[in-house]
A and B are shown apart, each in its own frame.
Chain A
Amino acid sequence: MSAVIEIRDMSFSYDNKTIFKNTSLTIEDGTFTTIVGCSGCGKTTLAKMMSGRYKTSQYIKICGYFINNKNIPKLKEIVEIVFENSSRQLVSTTVRKNLELALKSYNVPNQEIDGKIEDISKSLEIESLLDKNVDIISDAEKQLVSLTIALLHNPQLLILDDALSMLDYCRREKVFTLLKVFNRLGMSIINFTHNSDDMLIGTNVAVIAKGQIVANEKKNKIFNNLRLFSNAKVELPFIVSLSSKLKYYGVVDKIYYDNKKLVDALWR
């Protein structure tokens, strides 16, 4: 399997503060990786580096390309990044106009634009927003529109930096269901998040602590080492925390990821 991200011995500091020190990470192509860590640990720094928008002499390979003058235009074509507050990129008046603008910048032929907008807004359930002015929609809805723009591009790698933080539970569920579909169709997704439940969604989980990427494992293996999370000051998903404590008391024999299965195991 080829790697979508390959970082070797990367170091980074600013304002005399070391953020990363000689850390390495390889993310396989086609995975949906959730990256967690406490605030200020360098999630946004890493996300920006992975997006390939910033020139660096470090060993960082994105979809097989190093970040340099020659490759940056190519990387812009294949990598999309959505930030927590991307609303500044919504430059046009209505949501529809912003989506049109994005599609035009991706060189989509004019006759396909309406169809594409209709399809994506149906799957993200934002039809009612299309003709609203971006000034009056809520911040959560702006996050949704920013994500839509990134998805319209159909990137090879999609990076989310707390990009869904304001969505309510139902919206979040729906967005993740859709992202999983894109992932199955071949899009690699990296989700930097504060929401511990997000770890249960993707295929892999990576943890950042003390300037290092301390783990990058398949979802079902990562929770075998819970100390990893306490050292990184990262909350566990409720169901993992509950079942691991019950496992400690010997009433269940493994970690559960689902309420129903845990209930069945407890009260047989």
Chain B
Amino acid sequence: MEVKFNDVSYVANGEKIINGVNFELQEGKINALIGANGSGKTILGKMLNGMLYPTSGNICVGKTIITNVPLDNVEELQFNVGYVYQLAENQFFCETVKDEIGFELNRFSYRKKEYDKHISDALKMVGLSDEYLNRDPFSLSSGEKQKVALASILSINPEIIILDEPTNGLDYQDKLNLVRLLKKIKRRYKKTIVIISCDVEFVHLLADYIFVIDNGKLAIKGDKYTVFSNGLVLKKCGLVAPKIVSFKTQAMQRKKIKLIDRDDINDLIKDILRSI
């Protein structure tokens, strides 16, 4: 499903939070919207999901065109575009994990017969067992809450999945699992995934394409090597390159040696051993 932002602006309380943004998401890929706190990246995500409407400009999501006029069929848009909230518990209100995931299914009137299976499948996709079905979602750890929130969105099988700061409250192991899970969802189900995050380490692990948002504008876009090697622009946007990239850049600048772009610390070590 095609997603295109056409000259989108968003004004709240007389303040221009998004200022004439134009870009197109890569279909079936993992797209990352990164930026400092308050840069406006969450607003972009919320407009894509129909929670907010642009003040001017429009967003094309497949056949749906989102403008400043509230949509009649916002349910249809939200069926195609799932949104996982920044703090998972902000999207919870049911007493059990089962009801929580079931709520989304009910909302889009899934058949009762498939109901239980959908819930179990969604839990399995995020790596949780059926034991969680009767747990109270509020009593779970942050990592588990995040997984349940993602499961509730996956259960309705949207074309586009937006995750707002998905690594909050996740430990390292959970993060790696989430990277694996999202890559699998992309590969197997051909979903377009949108990560909204300021966690550059996480984005570096999985993003195919990165959009850097600064003060409501698109500052730079490209694949991760293009974006993360541009230290100056990142700094101006209040961000910093991932640790492995910063180390490489620093070594190359100070000691006039050549190191290749590496994603993995063990590959970097091989390069270092070769160069000394």
Contact = CB atoms under 8 A, between A and B. Distances in A.
- Asked if chains A and B come from one complex, the reply is yes
A70 B41 CA distance: 48
25 contacts: A38-B172, A38-B173, A39-B170, A39-B171, A39-B174, A44-B141, A136-B12, A136-B13, A138-B42, A139-B87, A139-B165, A140-B37, A141-B38, A162-B169, A166-B198, A167-B198, A168-B37, A169-B198, A170-B239, A233-B173, A241-B265, A246-B269, A251-B272, A260-B250, A263-B255
Interface in A132-151: 132, 136-141
A165 B166 CA distance: 11
Interface stretch (B55-63, B179-187, B240-248): B240-248
Contacts of B250: 259-260, 263
Interface string B238-266: 11100110110011001101000000011
Nearest to B146: A39
A249 B139 CA distance: 45
A170 B238 contact: yes
A234 interface: yes
B96 interface: no
Interface in B214-258: 238-240, 243-244, 246-247, 250-251, 254-255, 257
B208 interface: no
B36 A170 contact: yes
Interface of B: 12-13, 35-38, 42, 86-87, 89-90, 139, 141-144, 165, 168-174, 198, 200, 238-240, 243-244, 246-247, 250-251, 254-255, 257, 265-266, 268-269, 272-273, 275-276
Contacts of B38: 137-138, 140-141
A168 B169 contact: no
Contacts of B12: 136
B172 A234 contact: yes
Contacts of A235: 171-172
B36 A266 contact: no
Interface string A39-61: 11000100000000000000000
Contacts of B165: 139, 166
Contacts of B86: 139, 166
Contacts of A238: 243-244, 247, 265
Contact of A165 (B169, B272, B275): B169
A39 B200 CA distance: 20
A116 interface: no
Contact of A260 (B254, B257, B265): B254
A236 to B, nearest CB: 9
B207 to A, nearest CB: 17
